[in-house]
Amino acid sequence: MIADLRGKTALVTGAGSGIGEAVARCFVEQGAVVVATDVNVDGVEQLAEELGRDAVKVVQLDVTDATQCAQVASEVAASHGHLDLLVCSAGVVLADDRELARDTPADWDQCFAVNVRGVVNSCEAVMPTMKSQGQGSIVTIGSISAHGARATLGAYPASKAAALRYTKGLALDLSPTIRVNAVCPGAVWSGMQSRILAETRRVVHALDPSVPLEEPSTDDETAFFASYQAITPLGRPQRPVDVAKAVAFLASDDASEITGQCLHVDGGAIIRD
Ligand SMILES: NC(=O)c1ccc[n+]([C@@H]2O[C@H](COP(=O)([O-])OP(=O)(O)OC[C@H]3O[C@@H](n4cnc5c(N)ncnc54)[C@H](O)[C@@H]3O)[C@@H](O)[C@H]2O)c1
C-alpha cells in the first residue's frame, strides 16, 4: 500500500482521461471512494463500469462553472457525510509549440478558464465542507512548464504558473486545517499529448497537403518515449500512474506535515539548466 486512503471520500476533476483517471484508479486501490468528475463523462463511465459503482461515482462537471462546482461538492458532502480529498487534474493545452501556431486570444481565455479558474472554482467549492469538518487535503496537478519559458506556447505555461502560485497561497490561507500541495509532472503520454500531436499534424497538413494526416497511434507513443529517453535524467517520460502515486502520498495522512509544496514527478527533468 502506498498511502492508506481507506474511509476517505475524494473528488477528482478531469478523471475521464490520463492523469486524473490514474489518480481515480490509484485512490480506489488505496481504499477511497472516488467521485470521478469530468466535462466529458465517457471515460469516467468506463472507469465506474470497470472498478464498480460503489467505489466510483460518476458526475459530469465542467470546472469552469463555479456554481456547478459548488453544487457538486455540497451534494458529495451531503450524500457521503464528508469530503476529505480534492484532486484538480482537469486541464487543457490548446496550441502546438513547434513554431506552427501561436496562442490566439481565445486560447488564452480557455486555458485560463480551465487551468486557473477551474482550479480556483474546485478548491473554493470544497472549502466550506473541509473547514467545517476540520480537515482536508487538496492536490493540484501543475506542470514543470510552470517554471520555464517556451517560445511560442504562452498560455499553457502561464496558466500553470498562475495555478501553482494560487496553490501555494491557498496552503497558507487554509493552514492548519487543510493541506494544499501540487504535483508537477514532466511529460506524460496521455490524451493531452496525443491531442497536441494530432493538432500539429493538422497544421502541417494544412500548410502542405502532401504530408498525410495520420491519427496518433502506438508508434507515436513509442516515439514519444524514445524522444524523452536522452533528455530525461531517469531515462523516460512519465506515465499517468507515476504521477498518481505521488498524488496519493500527498493526499494521504502520511503527508500530514507537508503543505504548500510542489513535488516534481518528471524523471529529474527540472534539475537540468
Ligand atoms: N500530459 C502531460 O504531459 C502533462 C504534463 C504536465 C502536466 N499535465 C497536467 O496534468 C493534468 C491532466 O492532464 P492529462 O495529461 O491527463 O490530460 P488529458 O487530456 O488526458 O485529461 C484531461 C481531462 O480534463 C478534462 N477536462 C478538460 N476541460 C475540462 C473542464 N472544463 N472541466 C472538467 N474537465 C475538463 C478532459 O475532458 C480530460 O478528461 C492537466 O492539468 C495537465 O495540464 C499534463
| CATH number for 50 | 3.40.50.720
Which residues form the domain of 48? 9-188+238-271
Q: Is 55 domain-assigned? A: yes
Residue 166 is a catalytic residue? no
pLDDT band with cut points at 50, 70 and 90 for residue 202: confident
Pocket lining: 90 vs ligand 1, CB cutoff 6 Å: yes
What does the alpha-carbon distance between residue 270 and residue 272 come to, in Å, rounded to a whole number?
5
- In this prediction, residue 247 carries a pLDDT of 98
Q: Is 57 domain-assigned? A: yes
Q: Is 27 domain-assigned? A: yes
Number of domains in the chain: 1
- In this prediction, residue 56 carries a pLDDT of 98
What does the alpha-carbon distance between residue 248 and residue 35 come to, in Å, rounded to a whole number?
15
Q: Is 197 domain-assigned? A: no
The CA-atom distances, in angstroms, between 196 and each of 61, 75, 78 are 23, 35, 39
Strand ranges for the chain from DSSP E = 9-13, 33-38, 56-60, 85-88, 136-141, 178-185, 262-265
Degrees, nearest 5: CA angle 229-230-231: 100
184: CA distance to ligand 1 center in Å? 13
Q: Which amino acid is at 64?
A: T
Q: List pLDDT tens digits, range 45-66.
A: 999 999 999 999 999 999 999 9
16: CA distance to ligand 1 center in Å? 9
Which residue's alpha carbon is at the smallest distance from atom 43 of ligand 1? Answer: 91
Q: Is 113 domain-assigned? A: yes
User: What backbone torsions phi and psi does residue 154 show, to the nearest 5 degrees?
Assistant: -85, -45
Q: Is 47 domain-assigned? A: yes
Q: Is 129 domain-assigned? A: yes
Please state which of the ranges 90-104, 169-183, 228-242 shows the lowest mean pLDDT.
90-104
Which residue's alpha carbon is at the smallest distance from atom 42 of ligand 1? Answer: 91
Q: What Rg value do the Cα atoms of the chain yield, rounded?
A: 18
- In this prediction, residue 150 carries a pLDDT of 63
Q: Is 138 domain-assigned? A: yes
Pocket lining: 91 vs ligand 1, CB cutoff 6 Å: yes
Q: Any residues with CB less than 8 A from the CB of 264 and at least 6 apart, and which?
A: 144, 183, 184, 185, 186, 270
SS3 189: coil
Identify the active-site residue in 14, 126, 127, 156: 156
Using CB atoms within 10 Å of the CB of residue 74, give its burial: 0 to 12 exposed, 13 to 18 middle, 19+ buried: middle
